[in-house]
Structures are given as C-alpha cells and as structure tokens.
A and B are shown apart, each in its own frame.
Chain A
Amino acid sequence: MDVVLLSRLQFALTIMFHYLFPPLTIGMGVVLVYLEGMYLRTREPMYETAARFWTRVFALNFAVGVATGIVMEFQFGTNWAVYSRFVGDVFGSALAAEGIFAFFLESGFLAVLVFGWDRVGPKMHFFSTVMVSLGSIFSSVWIVVANSWQQTPAGSHLVAVERGGAALVRAEITDFWALVFNPSTVQRLVHVWIGAFILGAFFIMSISAWYLLKGRHAAFARRSFGGALLLGTLASLAALVSGHSQARNVYRHQPAKIAAFEAHFTTGPGDLSLFGLPDQRAGVIRGNVAIPGGLSFLLHDDFEAPVLGLDRIRPQDRPPVLLPFVSYRVMVGLGLAFIGLTLLASLLHWRNRLFETRWLLWIFVFAVGGAMVANQFGWVAAEVGRQPWVVQPPVVRGPDGAPLLDADGFLRYATATITAPDGTSREIVAGLRTRDGVSESVTAGQVLTSILLFGFIYLLLGALWIAVLHHKIQAGPEPPRDPRAPDLLDAAGAIAGHRASLTHAKGGAA
C-alpha cells in the first residue's frame, strides 16, 4: 500500500474516533447549562442531582476527546507536511485562534466544573459550566472555518515563495473575514451544531430510557428524558431544514460533490435515488428505486431542471461515488428516522403515555448509536465527496451565476498564475490534490506502524470508555441532597476543628 492511502486511512481512523466525542460534549454542554440554570432559578434539588450526574459523564467524554484531539493537531504536520506548507498561512490562523480562544477556556473551567462543586458557590459553578459550553462551541467554530476554507476557499490567494531555489506554492490570507465567512462556513457550522445537539440529546435519552425500563431513578430519568426529548425534537426538525439548504449550497460551490452524493452520472434532469448501488465504471445505479426528477426538484424547485453530472467533471477530478452515495443516504435516512421517533415520543409524552411505552423506550436506548453514525457518515460524505482535492479549487462562474465549462465541456476550476524565482510564469489550478499533500520524508512502513499503534490504543480506549461509562450508569445519580445537610456538616466540622480529611473521603467516587 502506498503512503498516501495509508495516511488517508490513518487520518480517517483518528478523526472518526476523535469525532465520537466533540459532538457529545457540545450537545451535553448545552444540557448542563440548562440544568444548572434551572437549579439556580428553582433551587429544586432534582436539577442539581441531574447536573452532577451528567457532569461526571460529560467529564469522561471530554477527557477522551482531548486525548484524541492532540493527535489531530500533530497529524497535519507528521503525515501531511506538503499540505501543511500549502495551507499553514491560512489554516494556521484558525487553529491558533482555536487554541487561544477555545481550548484554554474549556479546559480551564472544566476543572471548576468537575472538581469545584465544593470549592466555589453555585453561581460561579454555573458560570464555569457556561464557559465550558461556550469553549466547546468556539472550538467547533474555528475548526469548521478551517475545514470550510478547504472546501470553498475564499479570502486567500496562491503565491510562490522561494525555497531551496525552487518555487513553493502556498495559499496566503488576503482577507481574514472573507476567509472566516467563506461560502460554506455558516451552513456547515449550523449543521455540525445541530448534529451535536441531536447526539447529546439522544445520549441522554438513551441512558434515561434505560433507567426507566429498569425502574431505577425514575424521577430523575423522567426529568432528563423530557428535557432531552425537547432538544432532540427541535434539533431533528432543524437538521432537515439545514440539510436541505446546505445541499443547495454544496451544489452551487461543489457540484462534483452533489453529483457523487446522488450518483448523478449524466448531466440532465436528476432523479432522487432512494435505494440502489452505484456502479461508477458503468455509470449506472444498480437496483435503483428513484423518485423521477426528485433531485432536480430539491435543487431547483423544478422536476425538469438539468443538474450538472459527473460527465462534466474531468476524469482525474472526479470523486469516488460509492462511499459518498451510501454514507449520505445513511445520514439522511437516520435524520428522517430521528424526526419520526422524536415526534412520536413527543406526542406520547403530551398524552402522558411515553414512559409506559416500553418498546419505544427500548428503541431510544439504542438510537444513540444511530446518532453517532449519522454524525460520522455526514462527515464521510463531506470529506470523501470533495476528493481528489484536499483543498478544492473554486468553481468559475459566469455573470449569471452558472458554472462555466471549458473548451472540452468540463467544469472550470479557478487557476492562479505563479511566478517562479527565475521569473518564469505558469498557470496552475487553485487547489491541492490529496495525493500531493503527504509528507516528503515519511515512508509507508512508518505510517503502517503508527496505524497499528493507534489502532491498538484506540481499541483499548474505546473498550475502557464503554466499561467506565457502564460503571457510571450502574452507579447512577446520587439521591437528591437535603439542601441544609451539607451546611450542618460543615458547621459541625468547623466546631470539631477538622475538615473533610483523607481518611473520611469516599474511595472510588469521582
């Protein structure tokens, strides 16, 4: 296997494992803010119990997210050195902003959130929760900005800098805000957040449903399920609206990607395939069940309107079809299923029958897996669909906004004129191919070693995460405290002249 394929596999492995956790923390962070805010307002002990329990679960997810996140930052340099040289000027600013604005905020206040219950007052604790939640959201902003720039570059230009007597081409910033608000940032960010809220809500509903089915911590589980159901329902509905609007935006800026999502091989009116297996070589979908003109309707509100197909993309610029087609369908299918599930549950909840409908609760116990898959597959579709580019060149458009075709009838990508140190100029396409981005000095053997290393560590980590999560769920939330009790204990402790000492501390709790 070659170093490009291995490096891509390693990136896929490490990013997919990492991405199990950030959406969970973003989604759960919002729920924690709600629970603690409600506790401050109502002083109902149930809210505090819930906040304490979910904070412990949150901390576990956060820790694994941080541990696997450092790998991502290193990997740009270790495996994708040429890419790093190409994008550093642009991408680096977003990454540095993420470090300074987001990581310090989340990890600093996480300490207060997890360890500070008895050290700071409830208001300061609530403030810390808000900061951690904001930090995780800021972090998503900057990394999505960086990713979106690679999909739809803006606010930058290509220049040649002299390195060792040769011209090295790299992207440089021309306009910071144009880069931040490049054509796909806002749409992608909204969709990422909605995906995170769905996952957070389904995660909480899963554990709560399990408690309800087992008849444990019923009051706590009802409260948690109810709150998460509201978030899950709203987010599932919002995902549909956001997804539709995003697909149109992708068609405008990355038509090759939509053609891959929909296995739309030939330019013309597009059908919406519901089931089928695309065969890229033959240019057909086998076993196709489709809504005629459905794709044209979704993109143009017109069943007859032509949609640009893969035949208009140069053969060497065509993305693979099978993986984007399948993963896109899995994501959309799951998204529709979430809407059905949450609406049904909301209806039953309204009728006061939800917590007796055991079969539905059982579905919710496992539906969190679906939410994880939907988040993952959405990214698989987005990232594989932009291949063979790691930085996709922008589409050239005519005055009417329609993409222009070149003399051979293929879609035109933007180009840049590069002047070498010796004064000669040449025209290059304004993007970077994935296969050209790998490190010059790294061998396939080295990457294979690190894949095995990470594969082993992540397998272990995944098993441990599940074991500890299971343990925490078994332990369950603490019973609500009598609000006066701790004060009395404190007072007694003060009179007796000793504080909670090592020997009095409970072992094993954290």
Chain B
Amino acid sequence: MSLPVIWFVLLAALLTGYAILDGFDLGVGILHPLARDERERRLFVNAIGPLWDGNEVWLVTFGGALFAMFPEAYATIFSGFYLAFMLLLVALITRAVSLEFRGKMASAGWRRAWDWAFFGSSLGATLLFGVTVGNGIIGVPLDTHGVFAGGLLALLGPYQLLVGLLAVALFALHGALFLHLKAEGPVQQRLATAVWHVWGTFLTLYLLVTIYTLLVVPEAAANFRHYPWAGIVLVLNVLAIAYIPRALFLRRYGRAFVASTLTITCLVFLFAMAVFPTILHARNDPALSWTIYNAASSTKTLTIGLIIAGIGMPFVLAYTGIVYWTFRGKVVLDDHSY
C-alpha cells in the first residue's frame, strides 16, 4: 500500500471510530424526548455523561489528520461547506454546553430549556454529518483550481438530505440500543418498543439510499467490480442489520448493540469504497476531483504522521478502554453526575 492509501484507510478508521462512539451519544440526544420525567432525563444524560467528550475527540482528530495529510481536500471542503459547517459548529457547541450546564441549576425551566437544546443540537449535528457524507458520495461543483463553486443550495439536494435522514435513523438506533444497556425500569421497556420503530425507519431509509445511490451515482459501484472481496462487507452489512431484530426478539440487547456497531463499521467502509481514491468528487467534471494523490501532503509528512499515529494510537485505545471500563454497567446517579 502506498502512503496516501494508508492514510485514506486511517482516516476511514478514525471516521469509523467517531461514528461508532459519538454515534451512540448523538443518538441518545435524538431520543431524549422519550424521557418522561426528570429522573429519566438525568439517566439519559448521565448514560453518556463521562463519555461524550472523549468521543468527540475522534472528530477533532479526524479533522486534524485530514488537514495534515490531505490539506487541499481539507481546505476545499471546509471553505466550500462554509455555512453548513458553521451551523455544525453551533450545534456542537450548543450540545456540549447543554450537557454541561443543564444540571448546574435546580430550576425546572432551566433544565427543560437545555433538554430541548440538547435534542435539537444532537439532531442538527447528525443531520449535517449525514448531509456532508451525502455530498461526499454525490460530489460537489468544483472550479478548475479545485475550489468549491456553488452555494449552500448545491449542498442541500434531495439525495444529500436523504443520507442525512439515514444518519439520524442510524444514530438513533445505535443510541437506543446503547441506552437500553444503560437503563433500568419502565424507561427500558419504552426503549425496547421504540427501538423496533427506529429499526424499521432505518431499514426503509437504508434501502432508499441504496437504490438512490445506484441510480444517481452508478460509479459508486465501480470499486466493487475492481475489488470483488469488498462484496463480503456488503453481505456482512445486510446480515448485521437483519440480526438486530433477531437479537431484540431473543432479548440479547448486548448483541444487538454489537450488531449496530458492526452496521456502522460496514457503512463507513461502503462509503469509503464508493469514493476511493477520491476524497472530494467534482460533480461537474471528474477530472477536477481531489483524490488522495493530488490532495496529499509530501511523502515526508505522510511518513511523520504515520509515526505519530503509530506511537499515539495504542495509547488512545488504552485510555478509551480504561474510561469505558471505569464507567461500565448501569447508570448510577451520584453527587458527581450531571
């Protein structure tokens, strides 16, 4: 594998880590209106309380790595998606702040306001992530210098919005399964019912997006002809999605969560396969696209980055392990909870 290919794989790995980890805490935010009283609302928030901040670092590191290894793609995407990313930032700030501030005052009005801010920002951020991925697949208009040439509306087509909804359903499903593991009592019962509806919605959107993609972006399937082994992931993805209702029926909720984790992994892989070796596809003229070759940093930087990642990633996995182990099990609300 050449260095740009290795970095493409590593970026996909960072994105997978982000989607799995922040996926469930964004999902918890999307499901937050399901909580009926203050105790349940605190339970929702505290299920992700110690974890969400570390989860978001995967996004920050993904952004940093994209900047470092493919600066051309980073510059074009971030400046091109200007208003969309500003809204995303507002959503991420609001989310962090609502989690942090809701428990700081005893007033019910204060808490309700932050609850809605938490829900809205989780939903908004997930939708914008999905829309961004949708644009990654369908491509954006670029000029001859590889600079974005379009407005906000060019980014908000029906295809991109559909992928955005798919992301919402996916994270809601993942979050519901996570919460089910963390919760006890009547709210757990309600989650068990809700998760069926979420799964159904997700399945419908998954099928729609698959068909829509093959219709509008037939070249997304090209890599699967070049690399037939990638078809295994497609099969695995379908099996993972189909396993979720079986696990739910058998009340194997831990396994259902593993299945949704696998679903996310497969989906990120399929997304990467659909675009490889392009990072940002030019919808108007494929020759103008930013690929992992023409957008890459120098060989020296790609190598240094690999050394940094090689030293750092084992530590990152170790801390993540320690923190998840420390906060394993059902949510226990104590003096230090949100």
Residues of chain A at the chain B interface (Cβ within 8 Å): 59-60, 63-64, 66-71, 73-74, 76-79, 81-82, 84-85, 87-93, 95-101, 103-105, 107-112, 114-120, 131, 159, 163-166, 170, 172-174, 176, 439-442, 446, 449-450, 453, 457, 461, 464, 467-468, 471-472, 499-500, 502-503, 505-510
Contact = CB atoms under 8 A, between A and B. Distances in A.
Interface string B306-337: 00110011011001101100110000111111
Nearest to B107: A508
A162 to B, nearest CB: 9
Nearest to B104: A468
A111 B50 CA distance: 5
B71 A73 contact: no
Interface in B10-66: 38-39, 42-43, 49-51, 53-54, 56-57, 59-61, 63-65
24 contacts: A64-B100, A71-B93, A74-B85, A77-B63, A81-B76, A89-B297, A89-B298, A91-B68, A92-B67, A92-B71, A93-B301, A96-B61, A100-B309, A100-B316, A104-B57, A107-B56, A108-B323, A112-B50, A120-B326, A172-B297, A439-B82, A472-B104, A502-B42, A510-B104
B93 A461 contact: yes
A70 B89 contact: yes
Interface stretch (B146-154, B166-174, B248-256): B146-154
Contact of A502 (B43, B79, B105): B43
Contacts, number: 275
A77 B79 contact: yes
Interface residues of B, number: 81
Given A111-B54, A468-B101, A500-B332, 7 more contacts: A99-B57, A107-B53, A111-B326, A117-B336, A172-B300, A172-B301, A441-B79
Contacts of A95: 64, 67-68
A507 B106 contact: yes
Contacts of A84: 67, 71, 74-75, 78
B25 to A, nearest CB: 12
Contacts of B68: 88-89, 91-93, 95-96
A446 B319 contact: no
Nearest to B331: A502
B53 A450 contact: no
A129 to B, nearest CB: 14
Nearest to A117: B336
Given A174-B300, A502-B43, A85 B93 contact: no
Most A-side CB within 10 Å, residue of B309, B316, B320, B326: B326
A174 B94 CA distance: 41
A382 to B, nearest CB: 23
Nearest to A88: B71
B72 interface: yes
B93 to A, nearest CB: 5
Nearest to B144: A164
Nearest to B88: A74
B308 A97 contact: yes
A457 B333 CA distance: 30
